[in-house]
Structure 1
Amino acid sequence: MSQKKRVLFLCVANSSRSQMAEALLRHTDSEHFEVYSAGSAPTEVDTRARNALEQLGVPTDGLYSKSIEQVAGEPFDYVITLCDKSALECQALPGAGEYIAWNFEDPATSSQKDAYRKTLHEIHERIKMFVLIKSKPAKEASTLHAMSPTEVFKCLAEETRARIALLVTLEQELCVCELTSALEEAQPKISRHLALLRGCGLLEDRRNGQWVYYRLHPQLPEWVTDILKQALDNNAEWLRQDVQRLWQMRDRPGRKPACD
Structure 2
Amino acid sequence: MKRRVLFVCTANSARSLMAEALLREMAGDQFEVASAGTQPEKPHPMAIQVLEEAGYSVDGLHSKPLADLEGEHWDYVITLCEKASQECGTVCQPAQQIAWDFPDPVPAGRHATFALTLKEIRERIGLFTLVHRKQTGMKPENFDPVSIFKALGDELRLAALMLIREQKKLCVCELTEALDIPQPKASRHLATLRDAGLLDTERQGQWVYYSLSPRLPHWLLRVLDETSEGNPTLIKTELERLAAMTDRPVVRFI
Q: So what's the TM-score if we normalise by structure 1?
A: 0.51
Instruction: For 2:100 and 2:13, locate their aligned partners in 1 and report how far apart those are by CA, in whole Å.
Output: 16
Instruction: For 1:54 and 1:129, locate their aligned partners in 2 and report how far apart those are by CA, in whole Å.
Output: 22
Aligned to 1:42: 40
8 Å CA contact retained: 2:74, 2:92 = no
Corresponding residue to 2:8 among 10, 13, 16: 10
**Structure (1 or 2) with the larger CA radius of gyration:** 2
Structure 1 portions without partners, runs of 5+: 140-229, 231-260
Structure 2 portions without partners, runs of 5+: 138-213, 215-254
Matches within 5 A, 1:48-67: 48-67=46-65
Q: 1:40 offset after TM fit, Å? A: 0.4
Sort the Cα spacing of 1:85 and 1:33 in 2 relative to 1 into closer, same or farther, 3 A. same
Sort the Cα spacing of 1:61 and 1:113 in 2 relative to 1 into closer, same or farther, 3 A. closer
Aligned to 2:91: 93
What root-mean-square deviation, in Å, do the aligned CA atoms of Structure 1 and Structure 2 show?
Answer: 1.8
Sort the Cα spacing of 1:137 and 1:92 in 2 relative to 1 into closer, same or farther, 3 A. closer
Matches within 5 A, 1:43-192: 43-110=41-108, 114-137=112-135
Sort the Cα spacing of 1:56 and 1:111 in 2 relative to 1 into closer, same or farther, 3 A. closer
Q: How many residue pairs end up in the alignment?
A: 138
Instruction: For 1:111 and 1:65, locate their aligned partners in 2 and report how far apart those are by CA, in whole Å.
Output: 19
Instruction: For 1:111 and 1:94, locate their aligned partners in 2 and report how far apart those are by CA, in whole Å.
Output: 32
Aligned to 1:20: 18
Q: Percent identity?
A: 45
Sort the Cα spacing of 1:123 and 1:115 in 2 relative to 1 into closer, same or farther, 3 A. same
Sort the Cα spacing of 1:50 and 1:96 in 2 relative to 1 into closer, same or farther, 3 A. farther
Q: Per-residue displacement from partner, 1:184-236 (whole Å, max 9, x unpaired)? A: xxxxxxxxxxxxxxxxxxxxxxxxxxxxxxxxxxxxxxxxxxxxxx9xxxxxx
8 Å CA contact retained: 1:74, 1:95 = no
Sort the Cα spacing of 1:8 and 1:90 in 2 relative to 1 into closer, same or farther, 3 A. same
Instruction: For 1:111 and 1:24, locate their aligned partners in 2 and report how far apart those are by CA, in whole Å.
Output: 21
Aligned to 1:33: 31
Q: So what's the TM-score if we normalise by structure 2?
A: 0.52
Sort the Cα spacing of 1:96 and 1:58 in 2 relative to 1 into closer, same or farther, 3 A. farther
Instruction: For 2:59 and 2:10, locate their aligned partners in 1 and report how far apart those are by CA, in whole Å.
Output: 21
Instruction: For 1:32 and 1:82, locate their aligned partners in 2 and report how far apart those are by CA, in whole Å.
Output: 21
* Aligned-partner residue type, residue 42 of structure 2: E
